[in-house]
């Protein structure tokens, strides 16, 4: 099988599993316990926190370990919004882009439904980009924004946002900007100071840990109301027994991803170019969605997504799997949904065209042969479907 669904999840790294193993077996102590085994676990947890912070150019005390990207997004959007409204009751607007992950969009919707906030989305252009002008216009409507969230790189079409420029605008309006950087890890620089944001979310399983560990970086001084009540773990910001093994694994995975980022990025760019050129030349009518990197568009080097008008994206996915190629019809987090992708419709595509989408996402082990095989299989599958054979 050729696996081209790395945006959904990646294989755990062997060195990550090896680093986690002692904390899953002999060193299984609770980091909150005051005996020797607990103290060793606590030391390992804080060492992992320091190592993660070093990669992000952050202070260790700003790292909050979570169960993954979804929890980190929820904690950032809901936690900051609720805390900011506590300080000033008129801060009742939550602003996101129209192409955010559902963890962000649904968090904003929950605040509107249950906590009397207003959820508002900034429109994007045909590439999925939030322009500074559009962002400024929405924030300028009133002095009532509690929090805003714009993802660093889109999980469906790979659009890379100029988050640093947007963070400057947010700062002018005294609004914390959170960015979901889950897809960006290992591909884009994650220097939180350079990005200028107030909060940033990551998930380990995209870069080589098993699912179940992530983090929220929260700039010192950013108000946050915890969403989980309990023992006051993570400096009172996220209660729950600490996942020491997960934190250790995340530190190793993030360090390795950052060390390999530039070399991996160059190789991914070449593979992406090969994939996009191949599909557009081999599949009549194929439409690249999102920015065109061949024309200088700002897109993740690991992402190539297409629409194939006249066919059903889910059918293409199944037929490609039958030929040994594993891809996605969109965000894996929306699997089973019969609704067209909100990302593609925000780009201006009709629901009918959005329903033909297929996403290819490259990984560390993807080869030129994998790409060539996938291109040939896609041409055969789409051609057969269009012919009705």
Q: Which residues are catalytic?
A: 333
Alpha helices in 308-388 (DSSP H): 313-322, 342-346, 351-354, 368-387
CB-CB neighbours of 302 under 10 Å = 25
Beta bridge partners of 50: none
Cα 156 vs. chain centroid, distance in angstroms?
A: 10
Are 95 and 109 in contact, with CB atoms under 8 Å apart? no
Spatial separation of the C-alpha atoms in residues 210 and 14, rounded to whole Å: 11
DSSP per residue over 240-268, as a string?
S---HHHHHHHHHHHHHHHHHHHHHHHHH
Residue 186 DSSP code: T
* Beta pairing partners, 357: 307
Distance (Å, whole) CA 208 – CA 87: 39
Q: Are 104 and 138 contacting, i.e. CB atoms less than 8 angstroms apart?
A: no
SS3 state at 190: coil
CA distance 89 to 376: 58
Q: Where are the alpha helices (DSSP H) in 187-295?
A: 192-195, 233-236, 244-282
User: Could you give the angle at the alpha carbon of 341 between the alpha carbons of 175 and 202, nearest 5°?
Assistant: 45
């Amino acid at each position: 099988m050729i696996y081209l669904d790395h945006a959904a999840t990646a294989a755990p790294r062997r060195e990550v599993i090896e680093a986690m193993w002692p904390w899953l077996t002999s060193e299984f102590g609770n980091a909150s316990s005051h005996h020797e085994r607990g103290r060793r676990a606590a030391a390992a947890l804080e060492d992992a926190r320091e190592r993660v912070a070093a990669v992000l150019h952050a202070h260790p005390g700003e790292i909050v370990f979570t169960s993954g990207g979804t929890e980190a997004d929820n904690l950032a959007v809901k936690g900051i919004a609720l805390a900011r409204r506590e300080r000033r009751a008129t801060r009742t607007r939550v602003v996101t882009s129209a192409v955010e992950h559902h963890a962000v969009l649904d968090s904003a919707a929950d605040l509107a439904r249950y906590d009397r906030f207003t959820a508002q989305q900034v429109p994007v252009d045909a590439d999925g980009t939030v322009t500074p002008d559009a962002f400024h216009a929405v924030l300028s409507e009133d002095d009532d924004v509690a929090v805003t969230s714009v993802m660093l790189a889109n999980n469906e079409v790979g659009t890379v946002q100029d988050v640093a420029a947007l963070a400057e605008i947010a700062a002018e309006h005294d609004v914390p900007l959170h960015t979901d950087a889950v897809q960006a890890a290992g591909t884009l620089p994650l220097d939180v100071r350079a990005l200028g944001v107030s909060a940033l979310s990551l998930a380990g399983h995209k870069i080589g840990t098993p699912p179940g560990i992530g983090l929220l970086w929260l700039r010192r001084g950013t108000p946050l109301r915890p969403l989980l009540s309990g023992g006051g773990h993570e400096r009172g910001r996220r209660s729950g027994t600490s996942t020491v093994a997960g934190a250790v694994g995340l530190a190793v995975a993030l360090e390795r991803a950052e060390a390999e980022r530039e070399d991996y990025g160059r190789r991914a760019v070449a593979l992406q170019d090969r994939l996009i050129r191949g599909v557009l030349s081999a599949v009549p009518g194929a439409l690249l969605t999102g920015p065109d990197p061949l024309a200088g568009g700002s897109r993740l080097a690991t992402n190539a997504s297409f629409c194939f008008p006249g066919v059903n994206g889910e059918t293409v996915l199944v037929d490609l799997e039958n030929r040994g190629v594993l891809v996605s019809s969109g965000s894996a987090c929306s699997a089973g949904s019969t609704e067209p992708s909100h990302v593609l419709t925000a780009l201006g595509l009709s629901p009918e065209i959005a329903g033909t989408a297929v996403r290819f996402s490259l990984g560390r082990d993807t080869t030129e042969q994998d790409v060539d095989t996938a291109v040939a299989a896609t041409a055969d599958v789409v051609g057969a479907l269009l012919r009705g054979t």
